[in-house]
């Protein structure tokens, strides 16, 4: 993604009004409904009009476990994730489980699911990113050991383990035939620890807190097209 400081070399001689267009992005981000032409005109760009190109918002969580049991024989790796796209009105969850007995060189269970739709109450992320929950049953987990589809019951709670940080922030400007397309993207994340269960029948594969470096995130991006009349020399 190009930053504003990169625009000069792409649009020589027209940097001033392009940067001015970039400053209009917050105007579009305050109008997150259907595409429309905003009534106000940007100051400093006489005759220019702004048409909102739309906005997207998504949330996602992930957690993983990687451990050896007390016997020193059974190694387990687990991951679970929830994702919600507000623009498309969908939320999905997925899971991966792999357990292997290293003492007997025997796989116990190994497989992953696809992306299964989940309801609003099954996957929640708090507005302040301090907690999140995923409670659902995955029905399309395919176990390669038994060559069968198994139900995986997920009941996890994420708790923030650090401050909210800006994971990614950027601006992108594109110009074509007198129209500037300005897009702003912002991703906020917090490190988080998940606890609970990822179970097949009576076996819980998510023992103890999840391993470090997992997260709860929210991404927002908004765009606007700015139509700028041709400026005569």
* DSSP character string of 68-79: E-TTS-EEEEEE
- In order along its 233 residues, the chain shows pLDDT tens digits of 322 222 223 323 332 333 333 333 333 333 333 333 334 444 445 555 555 555 678 999 999 999 999 999 999 999 999 999 988 899 999 999 999 999 999 999 999 999 999 999 999 999 889 999 999 999 999 999 999 999 999 999 999 998 888 765 666 666 666 666 666 778 888 999 999 999 999 999 999 999 877 888 988 876 665 665 555 45
Can you give the pTM of this predicted structure?
Answer: 0.69
- Residue 196 is assigned to a structural domain of this protein: yes
- Residue 232 is assigned to a structural domain of this protein: no
- Residue 59 is assigned to a structural domain of this protein: yes
- Residue 233 is assigned to a structural domain of this protein: no
Q: Whole-angstrom Cα distance, residue 57 to residue 120? A: 15
* 3-class state of residue 21 by DSSP: helix
- Residue 215 is assigned to a structural domain of this protein: yes
How many structural domains are present in the chain?
A: 1
Q: Whole-angstrom Cα distance, residue 33 to residue 29? A: 10
- Residue 135 is assigned to a structural domain of this protein: yes
- Residue 74 is assigned to a structural domain of this protein: yes
Residue 174: give the domain boundaries.
4-178+186-227
């Amino acid at each position: 993604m190009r930053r504003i400081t990169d625009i000069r070399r792409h649009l020589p001689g027209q940097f001033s009004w392009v940067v001015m267009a970039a400053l209009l992005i917050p105007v579009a981000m305050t109008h997150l409904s259907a595409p429309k032409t905003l009534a106000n005109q940007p100051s400093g760009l006489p005759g220019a009009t702004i048409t909102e190109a739309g906005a997207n918002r998504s949330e996602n969580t992930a957690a993983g476990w990687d451990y050896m049991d007390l016997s020193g024989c059974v190694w387990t790796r687990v991951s679970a994730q929830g994702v919600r796209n507000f623009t498309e009105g969908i939320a999905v969850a997925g899971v991966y489980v792999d357990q292997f007995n290293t003492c007997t060189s025997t796989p116990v269970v190994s497989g992953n699911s696809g992306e299964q739709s989940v309801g609003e109450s099954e996957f929640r992320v708090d507005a302040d990113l301090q907690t999140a929950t995923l409670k659902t049953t995955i029905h399309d987990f395919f176990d390669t050991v038994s060559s069968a589809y198994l139900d995986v019951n997920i009941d996890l709670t994420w708790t923030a383990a650090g401050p909210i940080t800006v994971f990614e922030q950027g601006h992108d400007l594109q110009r074509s035939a007198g129209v500037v397309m300005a897009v702003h993207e912002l991703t906020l994340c917090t490190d988080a620890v998940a606890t609970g269960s990822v179970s097949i029948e009576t076996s819980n594969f998510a023992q103890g807190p999840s391993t470090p470096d997992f997260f709860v995130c929210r991404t927002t991006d908004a765009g606007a097209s700015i139509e700028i009349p041709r400026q005569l020399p």
